[in-house]
Structure 1
Amino acid sequence: MIPFIIIVAFIPGLFWLFYFIKKDKYEPEPPLFIVYVFIAGMVAILPAGIIERFFHQLISNKYIYYIFIVGLSEEMVKFLAVRLTVFRNREFNEPIDGIVYSTTAALGFATVENILYMMTMGWKVIFVRAVFSTLGHIVFAALWGYPLYKSKKTGKKRYVVFGLFIAALMHGLYNIFIISAQLYGLLLAVAIIIILYCLMNRDIKKAEEESPYKK
């Protein structure tokens, strides 16, 4: 049963991974780098889990907990999965790379999270995890992925810092709306995903236009 759960949990991650790889059409990233970042994203769930568990009993305010602990810690560890692996490499050399690597780290993180949820909660969470949660991790990471390249190019950290803050905020609000288990909360959570997905696609198109390798 566990091997089957693992296989099922990988399917949405691999689907979206190939989707973003195809978007990097002018100067594709080395496949090995994609694997590195995906694995780093998988490993990143460990420190995030430790941080969340530690603060869970210490912070009663759900807004503070889900935005500044859950949202911020998860976006930070995904950011570090990119920052500590490929960020300084010369292959990180066009705007789309920031989105490709940030979403790759997010997919590694989401894949492990899907496995854990499916092992503890069963098959009833497959659809929600595969569609909304995986896509959520993607669109949150894209908020700092595109600015990450801009920060590297200009040397100004404020772009990625702002992106991380917005990602943590959106991530936290999404979680708050989901756990409310109210119709309005679920609708707001879905609205966040749809809006951020549209913004991500806008940034992808912008990044493609800005590629120095576009002929």
Structure 2
Amino acid sequence: MSIEIIFWAFFGGIVPALLWLDFWLHEDRKHPEPRNLVARTFLLGMLAVLFVLPLQKGTDVMMPGLIMPAIIIWAILEELFKFIAGWLGGMRTNENDEPVDQIVYMITAALGFVALENTLFILGPLADADIAGSVITGNLRFIGASLLHIVSSGIIGSAMAFSFYKSRKVRVVYIRRAIVAAVIFHVLFNVLILKFGGTGTILAFSAVWVGAIGLLWAFERAKKIAPR
């Protein structure tokens, strides 16, 4: 595989993720997070893919033919590792001082994950000299998979934002429930795509767009949360 193919795969995976990231960071333009923490969180999101993929492969080996359990475990792994990336990237620092910051860091981690995951998906068609296939794959993942990860991680970030000024015990409950909700959303998206053909794909894409609108609403609400 040539360096040129790898370059274009990275370009097709990372640039769209950075465009999404710019959009969401613009939503927090009045009190932006430090660029070094945003970059670190993004890179940790990318690194998470390298941990998740072997575990997902191991799941396939241990559960041959068991599609539904594998889909659930895959979703759990992705949501947990994105959460860890967001936590290590910026949420455990002193700069994490506003409710909305939780959403920013979780979305940033998700987009780092998306960047490398999409790169790997695009790499296959490019390696086979299927330019049209790589473009179609990139476009579909820019809309579908990217929004899926943004919304699912945004669910967790929103829960953390809305519980930001609550007790530690309450925050833990919010986070646990949000992770479960994110996994359910993730699983439903994958099941619709894999099991219900064209109709399922339309429903899945519609769901992530509705989720994105809901996330924008949560983002605006989080900006207004103040300590009581």
> TM-score, normalised on structure 2?
0.86
Note the C-alpha offset of 1:179: 2.0
* SS of residue in 2 equivalent to 1:39: helix
CA distance in 2, matches of 1:150, 1:88: 17
* SS of residue in 2 equivalent to 1:86: helix
The 5 Å alignment of 1:1-215 reads: 1-59=5-63, 60-67=65-72, 69-122=73-126, 123=134, 124-154=136-166, 155=168, 156=170, 157-180=172-195, 182-210=197-225
CA distance in 2, matches of 1:148, 1:61: 33
Unaligned runs of 5+ in 1: none
Q: Is the radius of gyration larger for structure 1 or structure 2?
A: 2
Note the C-alpha offset of 1:149: 3.5
Give CA deviations for 1:35-54 in whole Å, capped at 9, x if unaligned: 00000000001121122111
Unaligned runs of 5+ in 2: 127-133
CA distance in 1, matches of 2:217, 2:66: 34
Give CA deviations for 1:45-84 in whole Å, capped at 9, x if unaligned: 11211221111133344332212x1111101000000222
**Which letter maps to 2:83?**
F
CA distance in 2, matches of 1:137, 1:211: 28
Identity of aligned residues (%): 27
> TM-score, normalised on structure 1?
0.91
Note the C-alpha offset of 1:211: 5.7
Runs of 4+ in 1 over 3 A off after TM superposition: 149-153
CA distance in 1, matches of 2:58, 2:116: 20
